[in-house]
Amino acid sequence: MKVVIAGNGVSSITLVKELKKISDDADIEIFTDENRPFYWRPRLIEVLANEASIDEITPYDEKWYAAHNVKLHISDPVVKINSNEKEAISKSGLKVKYDAFVFANGCDPFILPIPGKDLKNVYTIRTYEDVVEVKKHYGASKKFVIIGGGILGIEVAAALNRAGEENVTIVEYFPYLLPRQLDKPGAAILKTYLEKRYHLKFLLGKATSELEGNENVEKVVFSDKSSVEADVVLFSAGVRPRISIARETGVEFERGIVVNDRLQTSVNDIYAIGDVAQHRKKLYGTVPPAVEQAKVLANVLSSHDKKYTGSIMSNMLKVAGVDMLSVGMVDPDSGDYTFVSRGDMNKGFYKKIVTEGNKFAGAITIGVKKANALKLKKLVDEGSPANSPLTKYVEF
Ligand SMILES: Cc1cc2nc3c(=O)[nH]c(=O)nc-3n(C[C@H](O)[C@H](O)[C@H](O)COP(=O)(O)OP(=O)(O)OC[C@H]3O[C@@H](n4cnc5c(N)ncnc54)[C@H](O)[C@@H]3O)c2cc1C
């Protein structure tokens, strides 16, 4: 079977590994627009912090690809699909026939459509090349401003500090950090800790309306007319699935490429996995669902009867000294849920458990040992009953 994949991120590489586990039959061709083979994208944070090199986060060499029956085309994205002829066309003009075509081409970072967004020294972080550009400013630029106080924004800010940058400000539209992963008390505890440990500055409840400067960015201006000076601005305001080729191919899309439980799109023999896929109305944007989807697709392509029924959202912060986990329902607003929480602002400790009926439905932990937090995650992931033997890990 000939499988052609657009993208060489974690969903693509997992699909390759799983196909190989099931059988040696798949003949795989991967196209990527990046100029290097797969690397662990989340570990770009370590590269930004000067704690790892690109080689250290690039696990597989040419021999690995060959051993997995993969022909890899770097710097050569798929630009068109002729679904009637079952043929993919790359930027360099290669035409490849497929039995199965897989969109595993991820997301673009979202850049606020505001005046000044095209000024110099304004960046996003998605690829190794982005990291290289930002690192050129180390020691030379003084004021870094990150727009977006989500997981990625916080990780980037802490990495800049670990690389020696002392003047880092995070701007967040919501009145508290990580609005999707935390509740207000948890966010306040996290913010206090990040201020102390990484000397980060926060501007919360600020809607960015403009970037000012002549050639280079100089200032970030907010809707309330206040502003903060900036030599470098990093947008970390979410991502958008790359759907343009799917759209031109006639594949159904909404916010992402719409897939069913077998990861099939609306067009025969075309599939989508990872950040680009929208399953049961949901976009995930994290590694675990991308891996789960790729595993199911490997089975589907090998004619095994497997279904993907969705993933429970969970996030961990990769910031040294701050163990934070958020999983499932964390801030319930209906009478179906009950919760219990306890925190200590000075110690940087917070724990919240949410149950629905007699089942674990969500949790937040800050400053709880990672191993114990992961046991708690398991309870939520499995929807365990509140009297499970693992319940000792939720004791307060
Ligand atoms: C700095 C950073 C840190 C992160 N940390 C975490 C974390 O700690 N935990 C977590 O769960 N998630 C994290 N994420 C998110 C995570 O990286 C993504 O969820 C994951 O990479 C999605 O995998 P994917 O295979 O769907 O897409 P991607 O990894 O984005 O790979 C898609 C690839 O397709 C390529 N491509 C695009 N268009 C084409 C085309 N037309 N033809 C061929 N190739 C194309 C892209 O260039 C890219 O290389 C992080 C992201 C970033 C940027």
Q: What is the CATH number of the domain that holds 340?
A: 3.30.390.30
Q: How big is the chain by its Cα radius of gyration, in Å?
A: 22
Last residue of a domain, one of 204, 235, 266: 235
> How does 2-34 read in b/e, with b if 16+ C-beta sit within 10 Å?
ebbbbbbbbbbbbbbbbbbeeeeebebbbbbbb
Co-location of 151 and 195 in the same domain: yes
Residue 309 within a domain: no
Residue 115 within a domain: no
Atom of ligand 1 nearest to the CA of 285: 19
Co-location of 226 and 249 in the same domain: no
Co-location of 142 and 230 in the same domain: yes
Q: How far does the centroid of ligand 1 lie from the alpha carbon of residue 127, in Å?
A: 8
Residue 306 within a domain: no
For the chain, the distance separating the N- and C-terminal CA atoms, rounded to the nearest angstrom, is: 54
Is residue 211 a contact partner of residue 217, using CB atoms and an 8 Å limit?
Answer: yes
Residue 308 within a domain: no
Co-location of 223 and 137 in the same domain: yes
Which residue, judged by its Cα, is nearest atom 38 of ligand 1?
Answer: 105
Co-location of 6 and 74 in the same domain: yes
Q: What is the pLDDT of residue 391?
A: 63
Co-location of 14 and 87 in the same domain: yes
Co-location of 321 and 378 in the same domain: yes
Which residue, judged by its Cα, is nearest atom 8 of ligand 1?
Answer: 42
Co-location of 277 and 216 in the same domain: no
Q: What are phi and psi of 133, to 5 degrees?
A: -65, -45
In CATH, what number is assigned to the domain containing residue 36?
3.50.50.60
205 vs 197: CA distance, rounded Å: 22
The ranges of the chain with pLDDT < 50 are: none
Q: How far does the centroid of ligand 1 lie from the alpha carbon of residue 85, in Å?
A: 29
Residue 150 within a domain: yes
Last residue of a domain, one of 194, 209, 235: 235
Long-range own/partner contacts, residues 368-375 (CB < 8 A, 24 or more apart): 368/323, 368/325, 369/323, 370/316, 370/323, 370/325, 373/316, 373/323, 373/325, 374/325
Q: How many domains does the chain have?
A: 3
For residue range 334-353, what is the model confidence (pLDDT) as tens digits? 888 988 899 998 888 999 99
Co-location of 151 and 223 in the same domain: yes
Residue 325 within a domain: yes
Pocket of ligand 1 (CB under 6 A): 6-12, 31-34, 41-42, 44-45, 77-78, 104-107, 125-126, 152, 242, 245, 274-275, 285-287, 290, 318
Question: How far, in Å, are 170, 176, 232, 250 from residue 205 at the CA level?
Answer: 11, 7, 21, 40
Co-location of 132 and 211 in the same domain: yes
Last residue of a domain, one of 248, 274, 301: 301
Residue 117 within a domain: no
Co-location of 181 and 323 in the same domain: no
Tell me the best of 89, 287, 318, 370 to mutate to test the pocket of ligand 1, counting ligand atoms within 8 Å of each CB and taking the most: 287
Residue 112 within a domain: no
Which residue, judged by its Cα, is nearest atom 31 of ligand 1?
Answer: 9
Q: What is the pLDDT of residue 393?
A: 61
Is residue 21 a contact partner of residue 133, using CB atoms and an 8 Å limit?
Answer: no
Q: Calculate helix-pair angle for 287-301, 10-22, nearest 10 degrees.
A: 40
- CA-wise closest residue to 172 among 253, 250, 228, 105: 228
Question: How far, in Å, are 5, 93, 258 from residue 87 at the CA level?
Answer: 12, 12, 21
Co-location of 135 and 208 in the same domain: yes
Which residues span the domain enclosing 21? 2-107+239-301
Atom of ligand 1 nearest to the CA of 45: 1
